[in-house]
């Protein structure tokens, strides 16, 4: 019986300590990213890209760009979750399968492309915000999917963006928004930390 989402959300822990003796097949990495890309994005832009850092050599490169945090070596995989700028340029191609599936027509595709282009093409800040949103929505989906497979994850925003971009030959369109370590947790990780009381963060109007 699958665990309920509610219990996974309530028990999920940002993990720093991994059991480096275990291995994880590439098929699981593929499946995590396949599920991550089911996250929503504006216009279905799918303005994200994932680099799965798996080899010892690539892990060492990433560790050097991530303030030497050791979990990058110990985790079975670390995802560099990128958000993509200028995504409107690829929107027609991204939406073509929706037309082919009969979800909407060519005219609507063209309307969306026109709207996205007019909103984004000269607005770098909007492109960047959209990249951060989409990449983060995909990242959270990936983490919950991993949890459901019995894997631990740890999101990291502490890394040198430029160094990561350089070390992995990212184009200037791909912004590394977050790193996510994933794999088998070692013992002695913390439990989930308490949250603020609801009345401090929620207002109903």
* Three-state DSSP class for residue 82: strand
| Chain residues 186-205 in contact with its own copies, contact rule CB under 8 A | 190-196, 198, 201-205
Neighbour-count burial of 73, counting CB atoms closer than 10 A to its CB (0-12 exposed, 13-18 middle, 19+ buried): middle
Answer whether 151's CB lies under 8 Å from 184's CB. Answer: yes
Provide the mask over 11-50, with x wherever binding to its own copies is found by CB under 8 A and - wherever it is not. -x-x-----------x--xx--xxx-xxxx-x-x-x-xxx
CB of 1 to its own copies, least distance (A): 6
Backbone angles phi and psi of 180, in degrees to 5? -130, 115
CB of 18 to its own copies, least distance (A): 16
Nearest residue to 80 (alpha-carbon basis) of 8, 177, 183, 201? 177
Provide the mask over 133-152, with x wherever binding to its own copies is found by CB under 8 A and - wherever it is not. x--xx-xxx-xxx-xx----
| Chain residues 62-101 in contact with its own copies, contact rule CB under 8 A | 94-95, 97-98, 100-101
Smaller CB separation from its own copies, 20 or 141: 141
């Amino acid at each position: 019986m699958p665990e309920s989402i509610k219990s996974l959300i309530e028990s999920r822990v940002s993990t720093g300590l991994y059991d480096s003796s275990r291995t994880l097949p590439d098929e699981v990495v593929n499946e995590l990213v396949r599920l991550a890309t089911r996250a929503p994005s504006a216009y279905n832009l799918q303005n994200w890209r994932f680099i799965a850092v798996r080899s010892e050599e690539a892990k060492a490169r990433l560790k050097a760009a991530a303030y030497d945090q050791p979990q990058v070596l110990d985790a079975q995989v670390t995802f560099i979750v990128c958000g993509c700028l200028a995504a409107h340029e690829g929107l027609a191609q991204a939406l073509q399968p929706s037309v082919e599936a009969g979800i909407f027509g060519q005219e609507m595709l063209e309307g969306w492309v026109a709207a996205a282009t007019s909103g984004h093409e000269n607005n770098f800040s909007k492109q960047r915000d959209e990249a951060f949103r989409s990449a983060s929505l995909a990242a959270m989906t990936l983490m919950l999917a991993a949890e459901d497979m019995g894997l631990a994850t740890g999101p990291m925003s502490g890394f040198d963006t430029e160094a990561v971009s350089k070390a992995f030959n990212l184009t200037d369109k791909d912004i590394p928004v977050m790193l996510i370590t994933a794999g088998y947790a070692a013992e002695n990780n913390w439990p989930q930390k308490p949250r603020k009381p609801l009345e401090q963060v929620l207002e109903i109007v």
